[in-house]
Amino acid sequence: MTTAQQTQRPTAAELDAADPLAAQRDAFYAPDADQLASYLDGNSLGRPLKVTAANLDAFVHKSWGSRLIRGWDEQWMDEPITVGDRIGEVTLGAAAGQTTVGDSTSVMLYKMIRAAVDAQPGRDEIIIDRDNFPTDRFIIEGIAAERGASIKWIAANPSSGVRGEDLDGLLGDRTAVVVLSHIAYRSGFLADAEGITAKVHEAGALMLWDLCHSVGSVPLELDKWGVDIAVGCTYKYLNGGPGSPAFAYVNSSMQDRLQQPIWGWMGAENPFGMTDSYRPAQGMRRFITGTPPVLAMQPMKDMLELIASVGMDAVRAKSIQLTEYAIALSEELLVPLGAEIVSPRDVAERGSHITVDHPLFSDVTAKLWEKGVIPDFRPPHGLRIGLSPLSTSFAEVELGVTAIRDALSELQ
C-alpha cells in the first residue's frame, strides 16, 4: 500500500465516529484493558451483553426459583419453538414453525443429516467438501458407516470456497443430501446458498446448510432460497454463551418427510402420555429429543432483540466495513512481513472474518493471548480475525492488527 493510499484511507477514529452502530458497543460487557485489549475472535465466542447478567438473575429468582416445576406448563415447554421462531424471524428469513432450539451443534447435525439420508430411498451418496469443519465431516463419515452410504468429496480451493461448478460431476440420481457451510470456517468464504440449493434440487437431492459462521453476521433468506434444512450454533454472533444450544431449521414442506433418529419423550406426540411406543409430534416439535436446555437459551434471547433493533442489513454493512479495514491493515502491516491474506477480497463472497497465513502465526497467537490481544488460530498457518459487528470497534481492529505485526516482527 502506498503512502497516498494510506493517507486516503479513513483512520480508525474517523470510522468509529461515523459508525451508526457505535453506541451498541456499550451494551456488551467489556473487561478492563489490562485483561483484554483487543478481541478479534467474535466468530468463535461472542461477548456477553450486560443485560444478560440481570436477566439470568431474574430467571433464577423468578421463573425458576419462584415458579419451579410450574414453569414447564407456563412457558418452558414452548421455549424451543418460541426462541426458534425468533431466530427465524430476526436472522434466518424463516416463517414461524420451522426452527427449533436444543442439543449441541454436533448432535443437531447428526439428527438432521441422518434424517435427510433416510428420507431419500434409493439414494445412498452424501456430498461434502474436504475443507469443511471437522465435526461436519466426522459426522457424515459416521452416518455413512451406519447407513451403508458413500461419501463424495468436493475438492474446492480452501481460499475461494465451494462454488456451484464444484458440484458438477458429483451430483446425480444417487445423491441423497449435500452438506456445506454457508461461510467457510477457515477462509470466511461466503457461498452462493440460493444458487447451490437450486442446483442440488435439480438433481433431486436435499440441501443442508451449516450456518454457524453466518447466522447473525449476514442476512439469510432460507424460505426464499428454498433451503430444505439448516443447522447453526448460537454462541458466535448470537452471543448465547459457551456451549449454548444449537438450532435447526426444517422447511415446512419437508417436516412430514423427515424422521429424526434420536427418539425422545419431548419429541413425541404426547410427551406426558407415557405411551408404550413412539409417535412423533407434528411440525418442528418432532425434531426435539430430550428435555430442552431452557436456562441455556436465555442469553441468546437478549442478543436477538439487539439484532432486531438495528436490523441484519445494518449488521452486514458494519461487517463489510470491518473486514475491509482489517484487510487494508493486514496488507499494510502484515504482508510486508511475509503474511498472505487467504480470504476473498470480493465483499459479496466474504463473511465476517478474514484469515491471514504465516508459518509463525501459531507462536504469534500464543504471544498475543498473553497480552490480552485475542485473535484465533487454525492449523496449519491461519490466524483468523473474527469481527462481531455490534461489539467491535475499528480502533480495536487497528490495535489488534498492529499487535500482530509487532509480535510477528519480534519472532522473525
User: How many residues are listed for the chain in this entry?
Assistant: 412
Active site annotation includes 111: no
Cell readout for 56 is: 439470568
Query: Strand 229-232 relative to strand 340-341: parallel, antiparallel, unpaired?
Result: unpaired
Cell readout for 152 is: 463424495
**Which of 39, 110, 185, 235 does the annotation list as catalytic?**
235
Whether 326 and 397 have beta carbons less than 8 Å apart is answered as yes
How far CA 179 is from CA of 160, 208, 209, in Å, comes to 17, 5, 6
Active site annotation includes 210: yes
Residue labelled with grid coordinates 456488551: 28
Cell readout for 108 is: 443437531
CA distance 236 to 39: 13
Peptide linkage before 380 cis (omega within 30 of 0): yes
CA distance 234 to 244: 6
Q: Give me the sign of the Cα torsion angle 266, 84, 88, 244.
A: negative
Active site annotation includes 224: no
**Which of 47, 111, 186, 236 does the annotation list as catalytic?**
236
Active site annotation includes 301: no
3 state SS of 210: strand
Whether 47 and 409 have beta carbons less than 8 Å apart is answered as no
**Which of 210, 228, 302, 376 does the annotation list as catalytic?**
210
**Which of 28, 39, 110, 133 does the annotation list as catalytic?**
133
**Which of 47, 285, 384, 405 does the annotation list as catalytic?**
384
Active site annotation includes 9: no
Q: Which residues are catalytic?
A: 133, 210, 235-236, 384
